[in-house]
Chains A and B, each alone.
Chain A
Amino acid sequence: MEESQEIKDSVRLERLLPGQTPVLVPGHSFGTVTDKIVGIVLRRPVTLGWLVGFAIVFGLLNLLGLAVVYLVFRGTGIWGINVPVGWGFAIINFVWWVGIGHAGTLISAILLLLKQNWRNSINRFAEAMTLFAVACAAIFPLIHTGRPWLAAYWLFPYPNTMGMWPQFRSPLIWDVFAVSTYATISALFWFIGLLPDLATFRDTAKNPWARKIYGLLSMGWRGSARHWKRYESAYLLLAGLATPLVLSVHTVVSFDFAVSIIPGWHATIFPPYFVAGAIYSGFAMVLVLAIPIRAFYGVKDMITDRHLDNAAKVMLGTGLIVAYGYGMELFFAWYSGNGFERFMMKNRMFGPYAWAYWSLIIFNVLIPQVLWLRKVRLSPVRLFMTSIVVLIGMWLERFVIVVTSLHRDFLPSSWGHYVATRWDWATYIGTLGLFLTAMFLFIRVMPMITIFEMRMLLPESRVAPEEVAAHD
């Protein structure tokens, strides 16, 4: 009787459609959601599976270390970049990683403002994903300078002995400000969200060291009503600030291209099309992480099929915007009447990199159309595979944009060809190692689902106005 009431409550509160899974499977209480999420970190022993996985990704991280050290010794000549393709893998990977980060902020900030409470169970690790993806992204432009230890005065305005200042009319400097602001705000947002959960860890941990460390990190949080009120206010404001910020970041990234005069880059469609692509690949990465995590850690009652379904729909929607972008690129090239633009498009479709363009269309436009089918959206395995396809597709998109436009621009005498070397690949795969190593550690030491927001999803968390007023 009571349980059916609970189900009714959760159905009423979420206004579920018939046949839809609720955001949190009924039957939980304040205590059980807390214990379950805390238990993953504090009670669950380190398993063999985790160790093997960690060993692999940590090995990849060491590959990154090796690649960067060798780069510092030998210079960027170890990569495939040269005139005319000076950007190559470094910029492709930078844009790809920054884009992936965007889904985390979309989930934590924009969906919060839109009162989409299904975000509550995936926002924490999506935010972690943002942080780690931005860290991976930031490595590329830095090492692309070849002498990252000098990059400080090229990039940041600080009074130096040479009396030199950065060029503020350059999109590259805008990018430095956009990405570093984005990294800072994402880290703050993540930490503030963690604060009450760290207090829960402090109060639950048995190990004295764990108590001390979580105690230090939680800053003495005690859940006071006054504190919560300021907290909610600050959190909402941060969400409001992060929303225009996240849209600005990929817009500014697209300016790196669009402000130049290179055929195929100088297009007004770039900002919206880059932002949509960012969210597209970001949601794909969220699914690639969420699907195995919820299976391994048994949290399918918190990260439900409903989450997968919603994320798949966001992917489908943004994927269609991206497809529209590709269509518009074709149209612009034709309608501009500009010979160089037309040649660029023809070269992109039928030139030496045609394989990349057509793979991109297949991976990013054609295959993801399976997401129209409910059967695919509700099947974790198929959804996982579609997400991998989208991630590859979005990587190819950046490859096509960077390489095909640069390798043949205006003068045939300056045309060239670009091939990535093994060090390009080592650096790229190495950042995958960095990303996954950070993710593996994060899951073991921090609550991967926001505990206090899960409590708020429970029907009993709501204060009934009539009941409270009756006492006065």
Chain B
Amino acid sequence: MTNHATAETPLYGLMAEFEDPNELVKACRAAYGQGYRRMDAYSPYPIEEAAEAIGFHKTSVPLLVLLGGILGGTTGYLLQYWINLYAYPLNVGGRPLHSWPSFIIVTFEMTILFAGITAVVGMLGLNGLPQPYHPVFNNPRFSAASRDRFFLCIEAADPQFDRDGTERFMQTLNPRNVTEVLD
């Protein structure tokens, strides 16, 4: 199944294909145990254990969303404060200009709006999406990663990577096959 890298196209990594999520998670744990770090698991649905196994424990999405929400709420309130007190003060029957209870709803909506947009843009940004090209798609088998197959790719950039040694190791993980992925 392996096709050899030519001199012109460098190797991106080696990719093992699995049929079962348990095999994938086991393989991820084993590879992490061997000291590999530059690797990624690919699956057709989220598998929390796979991310844990390759040593990815924390995302900064929640922090970004919190900051987005705070920014949104502050913007919403200050916007109304500035409009009602400075830009366009309206005296309605002598009521106070800073009538904060009536500002709550717009403040709330702006909090949700900014936090929600941050969740989406932040998630896409941290994931580096949209990304028009990625080497993993060079593997013709990889289209099954969005259907029913599970892949582990150990990247050539990993300091421990060794073309033959890593392949021998990956063959021990009980994969369907191991394929070279060209960059």
Listed in ascending order, the chain A residues whose CB lies under 8 Å from chain B are 29-31, 34, 157, 163-169, 173-174, 177-178, 181, 184-185, 188-189, 191-192, 196, 199-200, 202-204, 219-234, 237-238, 241-242, 244-245, 248, 252, 255, 452-453, 455-456, 460-464, 467-468, 471-472
Can you list 27 A-B pairs, Cβ within 8 angstroms, ordered by A? A29-B148, A31-B148, A34-B147, A168-B80, A173-B106, A174-B106, A174-B109, A177-B106, A177-B110, A181-B110, A181-B112, A184-B116, A188-B120, A192-B123, A221-B146, A223-B44, A223-B146, A227-B127, A227-B129, A228-B46, A234-B120, A237-B115, A242-B116, A452-B46, A464-B22, A467-B22, A468-B49
A101 to B49, CA, bound (A): 35
Question: Which one of A178, A192, A456 contacts B120 once the chains associate, using CB atoms below 8 Å?
Answer: A192
A471 pairs with B26, CB closer than 8 A: yes
**Highest count of chain B CB atoms <10 Å: which of A184, A191, A221, A241:** A241
Shortest CB-to-CB span from B146 to chain A, Å, is: 4
B contact residues, total (Cβ < 8 Å): 71
- In the complex, number of A-B residue pairs with CB atoms less than 8 Å apart: 208
Question: Which one of A168, A202, A238 contacts B119 once the chains associate, using CB atoms below 8 Å?
Answer: A238
Shortest CB-to-CB span from A14 to chain B, Å, is: 18
Q: Answer whether A181 and B113 are a contact pair too, CB < 8 Å, given A157-B83, A452-B44.
A: yes
A163 to B99, CA, bound (A): 21
Shortest CB-to-CB span from A250 to chain B, Å, is: 13
CB-based nearest A residue for B89: A165
Shortest CB-to-CB span from B152 to chain A, Å, is: 9
For residue B112, which residues in chain A have a CB less than 8 angstroms away from its CB?
181, 185, 241-242, 244-245, 248
Whether B102 is near chain A, meaning CB under 8 Å from some CB there, is yes
Whether B87 is near chain A, meaning CB under 8 Å from some CB there, is yes
Shortest CB-to-CB span from B119 to chain A, Å, is: 4
A interface footprint on B85-102 (CB within 8 Å = 1, 0 otherwise): 001101010000001001
CB-based nearest A residue for B40: A224
Whether B126 is near chain A, meaning CB under 8 Å from some CB there, is yes
Question: Which one of A174, A225, A456 contacts B50 once the chains associate, using CB atoms below 8 Å?
Answer: A225
CB-based nearest A residue for B54: A225
Question: Which one of B88, B124, B148 contacts A165 once the chains associate, using CB atoms below 8 Å?
Answer: B88
A230 pairs with B84, CB closer than 8 A: no
A472 to B33, CA, bound (A): 8
B148 pairs with A185, CB closer than 8 A: no
Q: Answer whether A220 and B59 are a contact pair too, CB < 8 Å, given A181-B112, A248-B108, A471-B26.
A: no
A233 pairs with B61, CB closer than 8 A: yes
A464 to B126, CA, bound (A): 29
Shortest CB-to-CB span from A237 to chain B, Å, is: 5
For residue B79, which residues in chain A have a CB less than 8 angstroms away from its CB?
157
A168 pairs with B49, CB closer than 8 A: no
A173 to B108, CA, bound (A): 13
A382 to B150, CA, bound (A): 44
A225 pairs with B56, CB closer than 8 A: yes
Q: Answer whether A238 and B116 are a contact pair too, CB < 8 Å, given A165-B83, A224-B41, A468-B26.
A: yes
A232 to B137, CA, bound (A): 23
A189 to B117, CA, bound (A): 10
Shortest CB-to-CB span from A248 to chain B, Å, is: 6
B105 pairs with A178, CB closer than 8 A: yes
Question: Which one of B26, B109, B129, B148 contacts A220 once the chains associate, using CB atoms below 8 Å?
Answer: B129
Whether B20 is near chain A, meaning CB under 8 Å from some CB there, is yes
Whether B159 is near chain A, meaning CB under 8 Å from some CB there, is no
**Highest count of chain B CB atoms <10 Å: which of A169, A199, A237, A453:** A237
For residue B65, which residues in chain A have a CB less than 8 angstroms away from its CB?
234, 237, 241
4 tightest A-B contacts by CB? A30-B148, A219-B130, A234-B123, A220-B131
B105 pairs with A241, CB closer than 8 A: no
Those of B1-22 within 8 Å (CB) of chain A = 20-22
For residue B47, which residues in chain A have a CB less than 8 angstroms away from its CB?
225, 228, 463
For residue A234, which residues in chain B have a CB less than 8 angstroms away from its CB?
61, 65, 119-120, 122-123
A204 pairs with B61, CB closer than 8 A: no
A178 pairs with B109, CB closer than 8 A: yes
**Highest count of chain B CB atoms <10 Å: which of A184, A192, A225:** A225
For residue A461, which residues in chain B have a CB less than 8 angstroms away from its CB?
21, 45
Whether B165 is near chain A, meaning CB under 8 Å from some CB there, is no
CB-based nearest B residue for A215: B132
For residue A245, which residues in chain B have a CB less than 8 angstroms away from its CB?
109, 112, 116
Q: A229-B48, A452-B45, A463-B25 are in contact. List 5 more A-B contacts (CB 8 A).
A: A178-B105, A196-B146, A225-B28, A226-B51, A241-B119
A228 to B144, CA, bound (A): 16
A248 pairs with B45, CB closer than 8 A: no
B59 pairs with A233, CB closer than 8 A: yes
A168 pairs with B130, CB closer than 8 A: no
Question: Which one of A164, A203, A227, A462 contacts B146 once the chains associate, using CB atoms below 8 Å?
Answer: A203
For residue A221, which residues in chain B have a CB less than 8 angstroms away from its CB?
129, 146
A225 pairs with B42, CB closer than 8 A: yes
Q: Answer whether A223 and B113 are a contact pair too, CB < 8 Å, given A163-B88, A168-B103.
A: no
A177 pairs with B109, CB closer than 8 A: yes
A229 pairs with B134, CB closer than 8 A: no
